[in-house]
A and B are shown apart, each in its own frame.
Chain A
């Protein structure tokens, strides 16, 4: 058990060590997005925190009315996240060094180029459409909520209150409404009174953002959030204050989520192919070893038996010869005695 287990584990560990870094074979392609896909550019220097976007989204998606009306700006006193009835929220950030007043941020699904939710869904309920939106298909969703675990931006929400038909709820970039022609721009974009949101081709939005940086150098940070984060998103942000001050994570890196698991998944066919051979091999080797052991044992036994037999025979022979000799000697003794007695008797008669 010792040696074999150890060798087996060594093999596993060796394979594992080779998987220590993500396998780059799958990740050497860098997906730049479907050409001509649409996105939204959010400019936090323009946003005034009026929540018209939330109202617009609620209206076009026919979501239930929230507890507080949309013109109640006191909700901005606490930080909110998306919920099953709110695809998007605006949050206010005060006392940021370098900012003259509060800065607002609108948060919703970022429609990543390589979405973690789509990669993680085991029924392919999510689709990254060529138009740019990441959509959810309720006809196959099992409700396992792995997409909620996987999303680095913590966006998808779940109808926990629904007993039998809970849905994943998140921003759809108004994909069904735009493709059916009901809207030309997403509900939030259309509702914004200051065009803090611009809907356009992702490539154009990046160009527009850079033009704004060039035109107003003191106003913006020279970075577009979403250009590279998690491999790139279709919802882009520009701001005059650091993004981390707006509650946006700057430590997500640029590796898209699917690349994080592609290495581990690549190991599956290797295990499926190699393990049976390896294990059968071990079994066969063991069996052969046992067989040889048995053969050697049989041989050893046979040798021992033969040796014992030979010894016994030798011993028997020795005993036999000895017995023969003794018998012969006894007979000779008897003959001698008989002869002596006969001779003695004869001498007595002769007188």
Chain B
């Protein structure tokens, strides 16, 4: 065996090597508990493009030898357009149908797919390079395409809203159907099971999402596929024909920030040209008013629990949203057709009550109204109204007809049993008879200044500009139909601050419920007077987005007492 000294030398050398090599492993102090290392957004060039497509077609077949290819679609479309080529240059057309896969109709074997991609991509690049034009990476530079650290794709959701839809409806480029006035048939279709063809059915137009779901299903293309095939191809055809105003055909045109800004600008221009500065109503035979009532009979119940119906102003509500899908999910049926009293499969087991009243849903009535209450003009009061308590009966009555007055049960059934046109007529009558908010009390009845005298030890009494606040709030509510209808009593909006007591011209003093002792807080979850006053004012200012007066700027509200 080796003798001591050389052995010691080797051991020492080994130790130094081990130590150095480990320190070369990026030895840094750990400042935080180690989580799974999160790769930071690589600011590679071409970061943030929406047209980045990750080609990982071979991923389902097993472990990839090289990273997926990062492919920039717009770059290629640009080039192809300059070459006066169409989509068919890469996407095969068969029976007039474009295949969205690259140079093939269906997925074949992995080796074939690989060859298709390599031969065609690299082949085209080489051809372009040979012709002296700027082209993509040639053969041999594998990792230029198989990028190990690809840039981040930033793609915004794109879709139609009422304005864009109107621009299409109004467009001369989209021809009207033969012998008709409107061009709905150019896009809207449904699938005829018997002829196995796409046909147009007037009056039954739905949104695309009614049939085209997130993933392709049973021969029905996914939304992405359908939209691209329909929209992009049409736009591109128009572009090839040299038509101005052809619509975006590049990815960035719809999915990029700049593209969407351009669309918004064009929307504004279109609106500016319209009388009333709004798009005309989208006509599909929908009622102006509707009676929302449960279906008269259901499988589970012999007679469905008839509820006081709601007269719903459909026409007005169409203006509050920029597309129908906000309420009508995907198809244009009436709510009660799927959302039954007991809940049904079509309705996703969501009962009618929940569909109408769920606070957290964007589609429900109450949900949308609640969401509107979070806007700064409303939030000051509505943010500190407890959601745990049930609203007053009068509040329900603003929507639900008071059918409990004479012979209630049969009246409800009768109403529910009416045919839709009759219901619509009745609803219109009821809507006409609705009264909007009489505003609030007269100025004379609203105290100008309220001096808050209680609890003054460090500060002088606060002189609260009461009338100014009330009038400012009223101004903020002007024109807001929700506010004007649901603040049905002159004293209702006063209840924003003078809460938990009936609306009145002389509401009780705060201290009647909010006593000075903070013992209260721990027993009833009700703040004592100081916190009640501060909390009310400060939270309102904060929720309404008012920076002044700042919560910590004490002397702006009450002057300091000089000792």
Query: Does any Cβ of A come within 8 Å of B405's Cβ?
Result: no
Within 8 A of B (CB), among A35-68: 46, 48-50
- Residue pair A49, B33 in contact (C-beta under 8 Å): no
Q: Which residues of A are found within 8 Å of B386, using beta-carbon distances?
A: 215-216
Total number of residue pairs linking A and B with CB closer than 8 Å: 69
Query: Does any Cβ of A come within 8 Å of B522's Cβ?
Result: yes
What total of chain A residues lie within 8 Å of the partner, measured CB to CB? 31
Within 8 A of B (CB), among A186-201: 189-190, 192-195, 198-201
- Residue pair A198, B552 in contact (C-beta under 8 Å): no
Question: Known contacts A198-B521, A205-B522, A215-B388: does B538 contact A100 (CB below 8 Å)?
Answer: no
Task: Report the separation of the CA atoms of residues A79 and B384 in the bound assembly, to the nearest whole angstrom.
Answer: 31
Task: Report the separation of the CA atoms of residues A216 and B370 in the bound assembly, to the nearest whole angstrom.
Answer: 12
Of the candidates B527, B528, B551, the one whose C-beta lies within 8 Å of that of A48 is B551
Spot the interface stretch: A5-13, A130-138, A206-214: A206-214
Query: Does any Cβ of B come within 8 Å of A184's Cβ?
Result: yes
- Residue pair B519, A251 in contact (C-beta under 8 Å): no
Cβ of A16 to closest chain B Cβ, rounded Å: 27
- Residue pair A215, B387 in contact (C-beta under 8 Å): yes
Query: Does any Cβ of A come within 8 Å of B531's Cβ?
Result: yes
Of the candidates A46, A48, A200, the one whose C-beta lies within 8 Å of that of B522 is A200
Query: Which single residue of chain A is at the shortest CB-CB distance from B521?
Result: A198
Task: Report the separation of the CA atoms of residues A205 and B521 in the bound assembly, to the nearest whole angstrom.
Answer: 10
Cβ of B142 to closest chain A Cβ, rounded Å: 39
Q: Which residues of B are found within 8 Å of A204, using beta-carbon distances?
A: 522-523
Query: Does any Cβ of B come within 8 Å of A73's Cβ?
Result: yes
- Residue pair A195, B527 in contact (C-beta under 8 Å): yes
- Residue pair A194, B531 in contact (C-beta under 8 Å): yes
Query: Which single residue of chain B is at the shortest CB-CB distance from A189?
Result: B518
- Residue pair B528, A195 in contact (C-beta under 8 Å): yes
What total of chain B residues lie within 8 Å of the partner, measured CB to CB? 29
Query: Does any Cβ of B come within 8 Å of A101's Cβ?
Result: yes
Within 8 A of A (CB), among B514-541: 518-519, 521-523, 525, 527-528, 530-531, 534-535, 538-539
Query: Does any Cβ of B come within 8 Å of A150's Cβ?
Result: no
Chain A positions 286 through 320: 1 when the CB is less than 8 Å from some CB of chain B, otherwise 0: 00000000000000000000000000000000000
Question: Known contacts A73-B552, A101-B542, A200-B523: does B535 contact A46 (CB below 8 Å)?
Answer: yes
Question: Known contacts A204-B523, A211-B388: does B552 contact A50 (CB below 8 Å)?
Answer: yes
Of the candidates A50, A211, A218, the one whose C-beta lies within 8 Å of that of B525 is A211
Of the candidates B389, B521, B538, the one whose C-beta lies within 8 Å of that of A200 is B521
Question: Known contacts A200-B521, A201-B522, A251-B33: does B387 contact A195 (CB below 8 Å)?
Answer: no
Task: Report the separation of the CA atoms of residues A208 and B524 in the bound assembly, to the nearest whole angstrom.
Answer: 8
Question: Which secondary structure dominates chain A's binding surface?
Answer: loop
Cβ of B530 to closest chain A Cβ, rounded Å: 6
Query: Which single residue of chain B is at the shortest CB-CB distance from A190?
Result: B518
Q: Which residues of B are found within 8 Å of A201, using beta-carbon distances?
A: 522
Question: Known contacts A184-B519, A190-B518: does B531 contact A48 (CB below 8 Å)?
Answer: no
Task: Report the separation of the CA atoms of residues A73 and B553 in the bound assembly, to the nearest whole angstrom.
Answer: 11
Of the candidates A50, A195, A219, the one whose C-beta lies within 8 Å of that of B518 is A195
Query: Does any Cβ of B come within 8 Å of A217's Cβ?
Result: yes
Query: Which single residue of chain B is at the shortest CB-CB distance from A47?
Result: B551
- Residue pair A199, B527 in contact (C-beta under 8 Å): no
Question: Known contacts A100-B542, A101-B542: does B522 contact A208 (CB below 8 Å)?
Answer: yes
- Residue pair B387, A216 in contact (C-beta under 8 Å): yes
Query: Which single residue of chain A is at the shortest CB-CB distance from B531?
Result: A195
Chain B positions 346 through 362: 1 when the CB is less than 8 Å from some CB of chain A, otherwise 0: 00000000000001100
Q: Which residues of B are found within 8 Å of A101, using beta-carbon distances?
A: 542
Q: Which residues of A are found within 8 Å of B539, using beta-carbon distances?
A: 46
Question: Known contacts A50-B551, A215-B387, A215-B388: does B522 contact A194 (CB below 8 Å)?
Answer: no
- Residue pair A195, B521 in contact (C-beta under 8 Å): yes
Query: Does any Cβ of B come within 8 Å of A246's Cβ?
Result: no
Cβ of B516 to closest chain A Cβ, rounded Å: 12
Chain B positions 531 through 563: 1 when the CB is less than 8 Å from some CB of chain A, otherwise 0: 100110011001001000001101000000000
Within 8 A of A (CB), among B358-415: 359-360, 374, 383-384, 386-389
Query: Does any Cβ of B come within 8 Å of A177's Cβ?
Result: no
Within 8 A of A (CB), among B4-39: 33
Query: Which single residue of chain B is at the shortest CB-CB distance from A217?
Result: B387
Chain A positions 167 through 199: 1 when the CB is less than 8 Å from some CB of chain B, otherwise 0: 000000000000000001100011011110011
Query: Which single residue of chain B is at the shortest CB-CB distance from A199?
Result: B522
Query: Which single residue of chain A is at the shortest CB-CB distance from B388?
Result: A215
Interface centre among A48, A49, A195, A218 (most CB of B within 10 A): A195
Of the candidates A46, A100, A195, A214, the one whose C-beta lies within 8 Å of that of B530 is A195
Q: Which residues of B are found within 8 Å of A189, using beta-carbon distances?
A: 518
Q: Which residues of A are found within 8 Å of B538, using beta-carbon distances?
A: 48, 194
Q: Which residues of A are found within 8 Å of B387, using beta-carbon distances?
A: 214-217
Cβ of B334 to closest chain A Cβ, rounded Å: 30
- Residue pair B33, A208 in contact (C-beta under 8 Å): no
Task: Report the separation of the CA atoms of residues A194 and B522 in the bound assembly, to the nearest whole angstrom.
Answer: 14
Cβ of A67 to closest chain B Cβ, rounded Å: 20
- Residue pair A185, B518 in contact (C-beta under 8 Å): yes
Q: Which residues of B are found within 8 Å of A205, using beta-carbon distances?
A: 522
- Residue pair B534, A193 in contact (C-beta under 8 Å): yes
Interface centre among B33, B374, B383, B552 (most CB of A within 10 A): B552
Q: Which residues of A are found within 8 Å of B33, using beta-carbon distances?
A: 251
Q: Which residues of B are found within 8 Å of A215, using beta-carbon distances?
A: 386-389
Q: Which residues of A are found within 8 Å of B528, using beta-carbon distances?
A: 195
6 CB contacts below 8 A, A to B, read A46-B539, A204-B522, A204-B523, A208-B522, A215-B388, A215-B389
Chain A residues with CB under 8 Å of chain B are 46, 48-50, 73, 100-101, 184-185, 189-190, 192-195, 198-201, 204-205, 208, 211-212, 214-219, 251
| Supplied contacts A184-B519, A199-B522, A211-B388, 14 more A-B pairs, CB within 8 Å | A46-B531, A46-B535, A49-B552, A50-B552, A193-B534, A194-B531, A195-B527, A195-B531, A200-B521, A200-B522, A215-B389, A216-B387, A217-B359, A218-B374
Shortest Cβ-Cβ A-B pairs, 3 listed:
A200-B522, A195-B531, A215-B386
